């Protein structure tokens, strides 16, 4: 998998440009569906990553790219669920997270703004 461009609000993966948050799971890119997390927006001032979302747990490592300035909130319930499932959860800036796109046994959730 090759990322050729990352800028505020977009990412190009294998020649396709995405303008919304994405999930990378087993070499497949999907749009992040954050509707289930929108109910927490007022609590955080931003739609967080919540355990209510369809998070890719079938991996050893889950990396959350929390935006260019790390502003995506990750709810405590996500950390708890990761521990229960035995998944190492790492949160870092999106520019740092994309360096791990080809790491084995790793899924990514990439926030493209903030």
Q: Give residue 24's pLDDT.
A: 98
Q: CA-CA distance, 59 to 73, in Å (whole number)?
A: 21
Q: Give residue 101's pLDDT.
A: 97
State the pLDDT confidence band at 47, using cuts at 50, 70 and 90: very high
Give the mean model confidence (pLDDT) for residues 72-98: 98
Residue 38: CB atoms within 10 A of its CB come to: 12
pLDDT at residue 1 greater than cutoff 90: yes
Q: Give residue 44's pLDDT.
A: 95
**Considering only CA atoms, which of 47, 38, 55 is closest in space to residue 108?**
55
Q: Which helix (H) or strand (E) holds 109?
A: strand 106-111
pLDDT digits (tens, 9 = 90+) for 24-45: 999 999 999 999 999 999 999 9
Give the mean model confidence (pLDDT) for residues 34-62: 97
Give, in order, the Cα–Cα distances in Å from 20 to each of 49, 84, 108: 14, 29, 14
Q: What is the CATH number of domain 3-111?
A: 3.40.1230.10
Q: CA-CA distance, 103 to 45, in Å (whole number)?
A: 32
Average pLDDT, the chain: 97
pLDDT at residue 114 greater than cutoff 90: no
């Amino acid at each position: 998998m090759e990322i050729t461009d990352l800028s505020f609000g977009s990412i190009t993966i294998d020649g396709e440009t995405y303008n919304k948050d994405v999930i990378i799971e087993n070499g497949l890119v999907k749009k992040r569906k954050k509707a289930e997390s929108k109910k927490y927006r007022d609590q955080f001032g931003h739609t967080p990553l919540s355990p209510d979302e369809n998070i890719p747990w079938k991996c050893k490592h889950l990396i959350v790219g929390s935006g260019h300035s790390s502003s995506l909130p990750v709810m405590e319930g996500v950390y708890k669920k990761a521990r229960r499932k035995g998944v190492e959860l790492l949160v870092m800036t999106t520019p740092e997270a994309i360096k791990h796109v080809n790491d084995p046994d790793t899924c990514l959730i990439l926030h493209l703004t903030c």
